[in-house]
Amino acid sequence: MGETDSAAAWARRLAAYRTPSVSRSLFELAATAIPFTVLFALSWMALSVSPWLALGLSLVNSAFVVRLFMVQHDCGHGAYFRSRELNDWLGRVIGVLTITPYDVWRRNHAIHHATTGNLDRRGVGDIPTMTVAEYRQSPLIRRFLYRLLRHPVVLFGIVPFYTFFLQNRIPIGQMRSGMRYWISALGTNVAIFGLIGALYLLGGVPVLVFVYLPMMLLAASAGMWLFYVQHQFEETTWERDTDWSVQDAAFEGSSHYVLPPLLRWITADIGVHHVHHLASKIPFYRLGEVLRDHEALSDVRRITLRESLGCTRLALWDEDSRKLVSFAEARYRPA
């Protein structure tokens, strides 16, 4: 790869797209928050007709919870508005709706961006990933637990529930980093419990069971799936610290998840993840503009919706073949 096509060169070139538009940001926020509110109200009203109709509308509304999280995500990168304070306060408000303490998440996510693809700095804001050698050398119980964790039912069913409903309630990994993260977690908790309490007082258990919880659980699972596919694919890359660079890891270790137009809109183009990692301050509504202006980026680490389904079998990084492989494939590779 020549200098003009290097990850560092692309990062410099993409800096021109970092400027947000206030009017566009407000439009995207309204186009997300208003349908979310309307669908939530309709789902609640549908309880008087059928709880199953309410459930169906709740599941549809999970799409707008995902999109709200993407707005929060851009706020965390300082990409949604020019004002850091405005980004932070919008992110905190949305964090109540997405049950994600904004300041805690923002710090963990910044660590993810700063360490993605680094084998010697795993463990914060990423999907747990072992190398083939580490797996073979691990005790039986650790191998069993790792296989259990990587099972799709656990990874996309149980783990999202644990992450969003339980782990997010305390500042995991930041408990000694200062009061700011305690205030973020506990303040968000108070607001969430206040919201849930209000829903219970006004609508009772049915509102929680058929309107609120299904929407949040499906959104959490969808979010976990998106995060998984963005870095857990066969041609991703991991390096030891001595050979690792943040820009190369961003470019080569993040996918371009090609989705149908509706899903691209719902997910706020987060599938253009290689560009996002190279230039995280680009607002999500400008990522499509980047691909239109630079066609060469469209084919980098490209994964279709159909191809992404096969990523669920991948679980171990093979340092010899430099690919993510399945447990079955790892079994037949030479020790």
pLDDT digits (tens, 9 = 90+) for 225-257: 999 999 999 999 999 999 998 888 888 899 999
Give the C-alpha distances (Å, rounded to integers) separating 220 from 87, 199, 225, 280, 324: 22, 20, 9, 22, 25
pLDDT for residue 335: 63
User: Percent of the chain, pLDDT > 90?
Assistant: 82
Average pLDDT of the residues in 213-221:
98
pLDDT digits (tens, 9 = 90+) for 267-300: 999 999 999 999 999 999 999 999 999 988 988 8
Residue 242 main-chain phi, psi, to 5 deg:
-70, -25
Range with the largest mean pLDDT of 153-157, 178-182, 297-301: 153-157
pLDDT for residue 3: 39
- The model's confidence at residue 19, banded by pLDDT at 50, 70 and 90, is very high
Beta strand pairing call for 302-304 and 130-131: unpaired
User: Percent of the chain, pLDDT > 70?
Assistant: 98
- The model's confidence at residue 135, banded by pLDDT at 50, 70 and 90, is very high
- The model's confidence at residue 154, banded by pLDDT at 50, 70 and 90, is very high
pLDDT for residue 333: 73
- Res. 332: pLDDT tops 80: no
Answer yes or no: are the C-beta atoms of 87 and 80 closer than 8 Å: yes
CA distance 278 to 8: 8
- Res. 175: pLDDT tops 80: no
Beta strand pairing call for 314-318 and 323-326: antiparallel
pLDDT for residue 5: 66
Average pLDDT of the residues in 206-213:
98
CA distance 47 to 54: 5
175-184 burial by CB neighbour count: b if 16+ within 10 A, else e? eeeeeebbeb
pLDDT for residue 300: 86
pLDDT for residue 71: 98
pLDDT for residue 12: 87
pLDDT for residue 56: 98
Higher pLDDT, 120 or 124: 120
pLDDT digits (tens, 9 = 90+) for 51-82: 999 999 999 999 999 999 999 999 999 999 99
Average pLDDT of the residues in 118-144:
92
pLDDT for residue 287: 96
Query: Quick one: tokens of 141?
Result: 């119980």
pLDDT digits (tens, 9 = 90+) for 88-112: 999 999 999 999 999 999 999 999 9
Average pLDDT of the residues in 308-319:
94
Contact residues for 9 (Cβ-Cβ < 8 A; gap 6+):
3
pLDDT for residue 1: 40
pTM: 0.92
Average pLDDT of the residues in 167-192:
86
Q: Give the range among 131-145, 164-178, 285-299 with minimum mean pLDDT.
A: 164-178
